[in-house]
Amino acid sequence: MRIDILTLFPEMFSALQGSILGRAQKQGKIEINIVNIRDYTLDKHLKCDDYPFGGGAGMVMMPQPIGSAIESIDPNHDAWRIYMSPKGGVLKQQKVFELIEREWLILLCGHYEGVDQRVIDLFIDEEVSIGDYVLTGGELPAMVLTDCVSRYVDGVISTGSLVDESFSDNLLEYPQYTRPQEYKGLCVPEVLRSGDHAKVDAWRRERALEITKKCRPDLLNK
Ligand code: ADE
């Protein structure tokens, strides 16, 4: 899978170089390209934002640098183009499953008061929000989306981890334990040390149900 991220703040994306996503990129399983929108401005002072027509606080990202970046990267509109925005549909696991079917995503990150509406009207397929709160920009949301989509690319993480995790079967994940057997007076449940796989599976299913009922009962009604 290929993901191109358009931003005015490319330095923020060093977080994607570490851990599992860093390794997946080195192994060629995913390609993540960070594109600096400023490289595409035709303004001699490299300006990419301006005051909003009609007045109001803050600055708005101008259409030309973003439009030129998208037209140059994806001239035939082969990618699925997403604008990270609090106005979009809220990202849920089901949306992640839809997005992994796409071979190529372009994620546009707004900053300040967002982007000129004509960019959205002309170039964007979908707006996606990562939750009902407003962040300073779309960079962290783009990293969130990139992370949760990349996990499902073949070979990025073990399939076992994907089967048992939260939201599969609309259940939250059961609790996990590792060594030591006792920590500050709390012991690992006996059943997990029994070696009886059927019993372990049943215990995990019960705990998953219990936790989902307690923390996210809405998931059980789906
Ligand atoms: N940009 C600012 N806030 C956002 C959010 N909640 N989701 C996606 N993009 C955003």
| Gap between the Cα atoms of 31 and 35, Å rounded | 13
pLDDT-based confidence at 165, cuts 50/70/90?
A: confident
Is the pTM for the entire model greater than 0.85?
yes
Asked if 204 and 211 touch (Cβ cutoff 8 Å), the reply is no
Question: What are residue 83's phi and psi, to 5 degrees?
Answer: -100, 120
The mean-pLDDT minimum among 27-31, 158-162, 205-209 falls in: 158-162
- Give the pLDDT confidence score for residue 39 in this predicted structure: 98
Residue 163: is its pLDDT beyond 80? no
Ligand 1 center to 202 CA (angstroms) = 39
- Give the pLDDT confidence score for residue 184 in this predicted structure: 98
Atom of ligand 1 nearest to the CA of 91: 7
Residues 6+ apart with CB under 8 A from 126: 80, 81, 82, 83, 88, 89
The mean-pLDDT minimum among 34-38, 101-105, 138-142, 162-166 falls in: 162-166
Atom 4 in ligand 1: which residue has the minimum CA distance? 86
List ligand 1's pocket residues with C-beta within 6 A: 84-86, 129-131, 133-135, 137-138, 141
Ligand 1 center to 87 CA (angstroms) = 8
pLDDT-based confidence at 12, cuts 50/70/90?
A: very high
* Average model confidence (pLDDT) across the chain: 96
- Give the pLDDT confidence score for residue 222 in this predicted structure: 76
The mean-pLDDT minimum among 31-40, 93-102, 132-141, 158-167 falls in: 158-167
Ligand 1 center to 27 CA (angstroms) = 30
- Give the pLDDT confidence score for residue 197 in this predicted structure: 97
Could you read off the pLDDT of 50-89 as tens digits, one per residue? 999 999 999 999 999 999 999 999 999 999 999 999 999 9
Could you read off the pLDDT of 82-122 as tens digits, one per residue? 999 999 999 999 999 999 999 999 999 999 889 999 999 99
| Rounded to 5°, angle at Cα 40 from 39 and 43 | 100
| Gap between the Cα atoms of 160 and 175, Å rounded | 16
pLDDT-based confidence at 166, cuts 50/70/90?
A: confident
pLDDT-based confidence at 161, cuts 50/70/90?
A: confident
Ligand 1 center to 40 CA (angstroms) = 23
Please give the distance of CA 45 from its chain centroid, rounded to a whole number.
Answer: 33
- Give the pLDDT confidence score for residue 160 in this predicted structure: 78
Atom 9 in ligand 1: which residue has the minimum CA distance? 85
- Give the pLDDT confidence score for residue 168 in this predicted structure: 75
